[in-house]
Structure 1
């Protein structure tokens, strides 16, 4: 078995903190997810998390105008320059504190960063600047007394406006310009949230946190400022010779140059002996005049007096302003009249960031409190994308039998279904009223069951996406785990307060048996994966596992004693062995029939050394409390994947009992439990400095300390560091990937990120050359079958496009039933190509012949086909509507145009286009009468 698993994608976390950035074409959005970056392709409905990770959470980022460079910074001040082409880090630059804002210039030659009270201007590496070194400082502005918060460039990339916490903004010039002095825009009573220039102008506007919008008009245009030219002075040859002989290069006489420049009053000389050539015209005064002042939060303050403006963005071409607030609402205004054209409340939490895309059609909104990322199309008032992760840590995960979906449960009481290929959540179930503790998928049917602390076990249908069964116990209990047998007829759940196992019939929805025998909470359950067996293994905190025979004699069981508490059990895919993870960090392998122990794997040294901020013991001593809380077998049953209260996930060989590979799931130092040594500087006479309360700018004070004895996260107002760990993990059914529910989110590791060769009914004679030879001999059915067996999309597309459209029905009639789902699934993916009509004929013929046969077509394939058709229909519908109304306007405008009485011009028009005149006469009777 291969073990070259690499990080593939991160699901379950769509937005953490910081700002969002749209791509150059406006079809993709880049979002910071912890210490990683995720790119959401809104056009193709896919998400991809870059393999780049930082040591701390990423908070600020910006993309260059050409879309090739991305600059991102984290909480510790570490800044990365990332190539979006190769998706690698080019260079790293370290600041002393966290940068608050990053902005590229419109021409792409520079990018500016706000760091504390300074503004750094860096050169962008590339062909535009001719500079290929990273982070070359061009200028540094340090005229402010408070921390900088926002900035913006002018249209010509010559000026920059910077807002700060001193309730004012300042305008700087990148180069030394005549008649220009840095100007301060003041008059606000709160810190500046956003500032921007107008399009093709130096007019600016400022928005403060209290909702005050002020507009400023510049007295001069950008063209009025002349850049001062530096001219090197030439020296006499004898003087140059003396300077070469002497070592003092800086002490030379410039009397000749001074005499030459003294005649011009406007010229001056700098310290390096260069003449500054100035303009002879009369100097104009540069100043700003405030045109208007508006208060945007008058209506919101009537409902909530503590409301604050959290983010704002201005689209220069459309002159639209979007403002987001701490109440979860956002407003859309049209400037300069400040006319509100749209308002919407999207969340109960504060909206952290709001930006426009390139065209101004979409507004992206990020809510860190709820982990939401929304893209809103304000013209049609529809969601382009609406994704939200779990508001609490994931507790359990489960793969679907085909490996295309992952179901996750969390302590927030929600169950989400994720598409592995696209990375999006397409269904959320909120029926549970308390935390979800266990999830299990049926092996041969399209449903799954979830257990919760609210005392219910619910079964969800994956075809209709509904909760079709709810199982309860005779008395109120809290369920800690759930399992479904291979046939899908039995559902078992273990309780953590009454120490019993409840067994229900899925068909009748009634409880069949209450299995008693454990003397402590039931930690884990697992049914045998063999269809002919009904064995159920349960593990408990009473240091025992019990093997039950649920069908024949449900009350009888066999008990196996262990030396520590059992935290997880997992069946081997062959159904003969069961693996048990215990609290002493060991994995024991037992035979199900004989109940004999086969092997023991010691995992104590593989968990890793780590301590929390509140620990005062060494990492070696703290390691005694670490253990693996979740284990799962690989698809072939030869290896075990283990993870728990550690940042490491390990793969063990079952027979040999050795460690094969160790994965570090994260390097994020913003999480708790990542350090290996105690920082003695924090241990003072007043206590641990790492646990001191921190004040927040909106709320009164968010405490960084957890409740004493709390093991799980809660939804209180405290702001503490979550502890790193893996709560659940599972191999995919085909063994190509595995998923882990960690503190960062749902992390997926795959064997191959590129093309995976997955043939179907393969034989020796099936080759691409043979398929192409069949298509040349006009044996279309044989060629198509052979390409479907090879299961390569490029070859299938090549074969299908060479089949004449008259032969479509004949080819579909000759296909075996096993190949029908594959051809329909492939057709649903090809609706975005330029041969739309051709593939629609294939789709229509396939659905006409096989659409009523449920045993041939999978309903999930039909749902995917329907979604792709709707997406294509909406895209074409906008184009058709735009063209239809445009043609109407053109025709009406042509009728209203005045006639020309000039005979020469009329004869010239007739001689040039006689056919067009005849066609107009035939198309429109009114034109012929005129």
Structure 2
């Protein structure tokens, strides 16, 4: 349970390629990100990455009409049937060829898959468990080139398929007598989109050259006539009858895999005789083109509102009302190609995806405002850091894009970005840096971010006002590759990779305090001690130097290494130092005595894969790999290590052994993933990766010279290599994050495991616990519940304790259960609405057992940080709510005071009347006497 970390979320990437989908209610966007699927809830402003992955990048996603199922297909045609309710994989299937598009019928009974020039119709998976979920119904042949798009009629009777051969084919989903297939021309370029009109066979087709054709059918949907069932074709006979049957079999052949429909050209007499459905082009419209290469790249049509949305290669999109072709508005949201367009069910929100920049935008066209806009680090994420309460993560990367929004001309910068771990979204991006950000960190207060960059500056950013309030520079231009801030937040240090010096600045004044010289190689990593004012610097000169900040910044100790130093980190209590070196070892040192406590040889644990262009084996390639990032766990008992491989390792420091390995990716679209050479990719001329295929990059026609690899090398069409650039444990110890080629991966402890017994015997049962509650033995019930350790039962026991009895129960608890109860309260406080109740528990536990907990500060620290994170989140939410309703609260307080004064005056009047009555009665009695 301690190391049962599982994939939790993927941050830093919102869209890569493929088609976007909206959920049934229109509030959720489903976006393919590499070989995973991310779900963005626009109503609650949260994101979630589903816990499954494919073997290669996802190219298309088909969503069922009820929103419960999704079919995900990757680049090779491998499909996965996923339940969006349980987030589980239900079925695997392989189409053996790349799939261009997939679409469910509106009634949910069938779905169409197009690959090459064929359209395959399958029976949709049912709600019951099936051995084979994909049953082929019919195969439709018609286009001569690859198919590009699909659309269904509203009653699921017919569907239309667009093709690269500039034709559009209408097919019948059933055996209609007057419509088996119909071919439409009229375009001079690739058909990008084809759409049926609502409750009609009328068509709209859009081509890549910006042409819209409007087609009208002479038949309504109710006019389709079902063909009578025919017997199966018999065996061919001799003579003329054999030729007749062969001609009939061209239209229909029944086999084991389903029916095959082949399109053919019919004569006018045959069409007149059958009275088939006919189409007529009513009009032809052209979009306004700006430039020679402004191709129409994506289109979507909302049938109830008759709105057509088209995206172009220049980043412009148009909204037109059909069939009149009235332009509603035209906007430019990017300077890059729009790869995908989707409209939600109400027609209010439009989703755009830009694959080159990794951008995702949701636009509300009526109010002309953004509903959602995110952009991830596209090239590489270099570093990350957790905030002290674990609520935020800051990342820095090598990309040149402006995150949290679409790129605008003239505004470029390498940017640190801040992510909310609860929502999974980026809420602020700083764009002051002009080159790659090499390192980022938080100060101890959690409200200041410091980043180092290759542009020669170190910048400090304020999270209250979202501004750059300090910029630190060196006397001579230097490229900073490492960064550290001390525990007080006053000293900022950065290491230069060219001058081998370490620079120290004051956060308060922004002035340079000292330049530390002594290393004979580039400074690779810096780390301050959490308890002392000591700086540890790791360098390629095979040394780790400890600098005393209180003693004139002199070298306190020099630790000799066996190889070049790559990473150094302190244990959370400051009593140990871990160093990763170039030979693949992790050594552990005592910083006070400068002695080595142990080492771990981890080179074989990395298991580096083989690149496509490598001429040596993966085993030989692994000899040159090492760990490049280290991080201690929250309790300091283990260390997390990662490098240029797909594995992250957790080592036990005391035993000096490997505990667990995490495979961060299984995406074969990345390089260095396969361990062995794939013979299928070898030809007589060598590896396919080195052989020119004579094709361009897909956006235009380019004729490459002999010996030149596929495409243009300057256009960054390359296969990225899998690697882990940075690792950090959350201060709460419940999760850890890694910046990888895929993005920012977050792994959390699995909370599904309920039964984790502690000190259990036969008498500890739910019945005995509830018996103690009835007897009002609160402390005994809590002890028994924590022995059984079921979350629901523990919460039930705690919430039945009366509020006035909390302090008494906390004082009578055994010491061993105090820490467990405090950790459970921190977990409950994060999601529960009983804020005051659980805060009272936490306050009493800390006040009554504070001294005992202080003696175990190292072990209790993750629990306290988890508690602080929960309280801080509630504080932020409540403060925003109170600020928003400030005047309403003042009015309510004033009104309550006024009512209180009025009530007090009424009570005073009643008391005076009672006194007067008593006095009058006494006077009457005196007179009578």
How far off is 1:594 after superposition?
Answer: 1.3
The alpha-carbon deviation at position 468 of structure 1 amounts to 1.3
Matched residue, 1:450: 451
- Give 1:73's aligned residue: 73
Residue number in structure 1 paired with 2:540 = 541
Per-residue deviation at 1:818?
5.8
- The corresponding residue for 2:720 is 722
1:378 aligns with 2:377: no
- Do the aligned residues in 2 keep the contact of 1:463 with 1:860 (CA within 8 Å)? no
Determine the C-alpha separation between the residues in 2 that align with 1:605 and 1:705. Answer: 40
Q: Which residue of 2 aligns with 1:492?
A: 493
CA RMSD after TM alignment: 3.8
Aligned to 1:294: 285
| Whole-Å separation in 2 of the counterparts to 1:250 and 1:57 | 46
Q: Distance in 2 between matches of 1:132 and 1:872?
A: 57
**1:353 and 1:538, CA in 2 relative to 1: closer, same or farther beyond 3 A?**
same
Question: 1:431 maps to which residue?
Answer: 432
Distance 1:318 1:170 in 2: 25
Distance (Å, rounded) in 2 between the aligned partners of 1:330 and 1:871? 36
Q: Distance in 2 between matches of 1:600 and 1:520?
A: 23
Contact 1:703 1:719 in 2 (8 A): no
- For residues 297-346 of structure 1, give each alpha carbon's deviation from its aligned partner in whole angstroms, at most 9, with x where no partner exists: x2x32xx2211111000001110000001111111111111111122211
Counterpart contact for 1:648–1:663, Cα < 8 Å: yes
Map 1:482-521; keep pairs closer than 5 Å: 482-521=483-522
- The 5-angstrom pairing of residues 739-778 of structure 1 reads 739-753=737-751
Deviation, 1:75, is: 0.3
**1:336 has 2:323 as partner:** yes
- Asked whether the equivalents of residues 704 and 718 of structure 1 are also in contact (C-alpha less than 8 Å), the reply is no
CA–CA distance in structure 1, aligned partners of residues 148 and 870 of structure 2: 56
CA contact (8 A) 2:646 2:722 kept: yes
SS of the aligned residue for 1:223 comes to helix
Q: Any idea what the Cα deviations from partners look like across 1:375-401, whole Å, max 9, x if unmatched?
A: 111111111111110122000000000
- Separation (CA, whole Å) in 1 of partners of 2:483 and 2:198: 60
Name the CA distance, whole Å, in 2 between partners of 1:784 and 1:338: 73
Task: Specify every segment of 5 or more residues in structure 2 that has no aligned partner in the other structure, as ranges.
Answer: 238-250, 256-271, 400-413, 757-777, 783-793, 812-820, 845-867, 887-929
What SS does the corresponding residue of 2:715 show, helix, strand or coil? coil
Query: 1:3 corresponds to which residue?
Result: 3
* TM-superposed deviation, 1:462: 2.1
Distance in 1 separating the partners of 2:431 and 2:678 = 43
- 1:773 shift after superposition: 5.1
| CA deviations over 1:58-117 (Å, ceiling 9, x no partner) | 010111001111011000111111111221222222123210000000000000011001
1:271 and 1:179 mapped to 2: Cα distance?
20
Higher mean displacement: 451-460 or 440-449: 440-449
Residue number in structure 2 paired with 1:556: 555
Report the 3-state secondary structure (helix = DSSP H, G, I; strand = E; otherwise coil) of the residue aligned with 2:341: strand
Q: For residues 376 and 632 of structure 1, what CA distance do their matches in structure 2 show?
A: 41
Q: Could you say if the C-alpha distance between residues 771 and 798 of structure 1 is closer, same or farther in structure 2, counting changes exceeding 3 Å? A: farther
d(CA) in 2 for partners of 1:185, 1:610: 50
Matching residue of 2:337: 350
CA contact (8 A) 1:787 1:799 kept: no
Q: Structure 1 residues 219 and 186, CA, compared in 2 at 3 Å: closer, same or farther? A: same
1:477-534 deviations in whole A, cap 9, x for unaligned? 000010000111101100000000001111111111100001111000000011xx11
Corresponding residue of 1:93 = 93
Other-structure match for 1:144: 143
The 1:127–1:599 alpha-carbon spacing in structure 2 relative to 1, beyond 3 Å, is closer
How far 1:793 sits from its partner (Å)?
A: 5.6
| TM-score, with length taken from structure 1 | 0.78
Q: Is contact 1:757-1:791 (8 Å) kept? A: no
1:926 is aligned to none
Displacement of 1:229 in angstroms is 3.2
Following TM superposition, by how much is the alpha carbon of 1:18 offset from its aligned partner in structure 2, in angstroms? Answer: 0.4
Deviation, structure 1 residue 348: 1.6
Q: In 2 relative to 1, CA 444–866 (structure 1 residues): closer, same or farther, beyond 3 Å?
A: closer
The Cα offsets for residues 255-304 of structure 1, whole Å up to 9 and x where unpaired, read as: xxxxxxxxxxxxx99999xxxxxxxx9953421000110001x2x32xx2
Partner of 1:879: none
Structure 1 residues 815 and 668 mapped into 2: Cα distance closer, same or farther (>3 Å)?
closer
The alpha-carbon distance between structure 1 residues 610 and 131, as it changes in their structure 2 partners (threshold 3 A), is closer
CA distance in 1, matches of 2:705, 2:397: 22
Q: Which residue of 2 aligns with 1:219?
A: 218
1:696 touches 1:702 (CA, 8 Å); kept in 2?
A: no
Q: Is the 8 A contact 1:5 1:750 kept in 2?
A: yes
The match for 1:323 among 289, 292, 310 is 310
Distance 1:553 1:270 in 2: 90
Residue 424 of structure 2 aligns to a residue in which SS?
Answer: coil
After TM superposition, list the pairs within 5 Å mapping 1:186-225 onto structure 2. Answer: 186-225=185-224
Deviation string, structure 1 residues 555-578 (Cα, Å, up to 9, x no partner): 333222212111100111121211
Kept in 1, the 8 Å contact 2:104–2:112? The answer is: yes
User: Could you say if the C-alpha distance between residues 781 and 103 of structure 1 is closer, same or farther in structure 2, counting changes exceeding 3 Å?
Assistant: farther
Partner of 2:395: 408
User: Residues 719-761 of structure 1: CA distance to partner in whole angstroms, max 9, x if unpaired?
Assistant: 0000001000111111111001000000011112459999xxx
Query: How far apart are 1:701 and its partner, in Å?
Result: 5.0
1:22 equivalent to 2:9? Answer no
Q: Distance in 2 between matches of 1:706 and 1:495?
A: 40
Partner of residue 918, structure 1:
none
Determine the C-alpha separation between the residues in 1 that align with 2:114 and 2:428: 40
Residues 500 and 590 (structure 1 numbering): CA distance in 2 closer, same or farther, change over 3 Å? same
Displacement, 1:864? Answer: 3.6
**Whole-angstrom distance in 2 between the partners of 1:269 and 1:120:** 15
Corresponding residue SS for 2:229 = strand
- 1:111-190 matches, within 5 Å, as 111-126=111-126, 133-190=132-189
Q: Distance in 2 between matches of 1:2 and 1:795?
A: 20
Partner SS state of residue 311, structure 1: strand
- In terms of mean alpha carbon deviation, does 439-448 or 213-222 score higher? 439-448
Q: Distance in 1 between matches of 2:307 and 2:363?
A: 14
Question: Deviations along 1:567-603, whole A, 9 cap, x unmatched?
Answer: 1001111212111101110001111011111101001
Q: CA deviation at 1:467?
A: 1.3
In the other structure, the counterpart of 2:593 is: 594
User: Structure 1 pair 548/366, CA: closer, same or farther in 2 (3 Å)?
Assistant: same
SS at match of 2:619: helix
CA distance in 2, matches of 1:316, 1:286: 22
The residue number in structure 2 matching 1:913 is: none
- State how far apart, in whole Å, the 1-side matches of 2:39 and 2:705 are: 31
Contact 1:445 1:488 in 2 (8 A): no
Assess, with a 3 A threshold, how the Cα gap between structure 1 residues 358 and 865 changes in structure 2: closer, same or farther. Answer: farther
Which residue does 2:423 correspond to in 1?
Answer: 422
How many Å separate the matches in 2 of 1:150 and 1:201? 19
Equivalent residues in 2 for 1:451-850 (5 A)? 451-530=452-531, 533-680=532-679, 682=681, 686=685, 688-693=687-692, 694-701=695-702, 716-753=714-751, 790=825
Is residue 364 of structure 1 aligned with residue 355 of structure 2?
Answer: no
One of 380, 389, 394 as aligned partner of 2:376: 389
Contact 1:705 1:719 in 2 (8 A): no
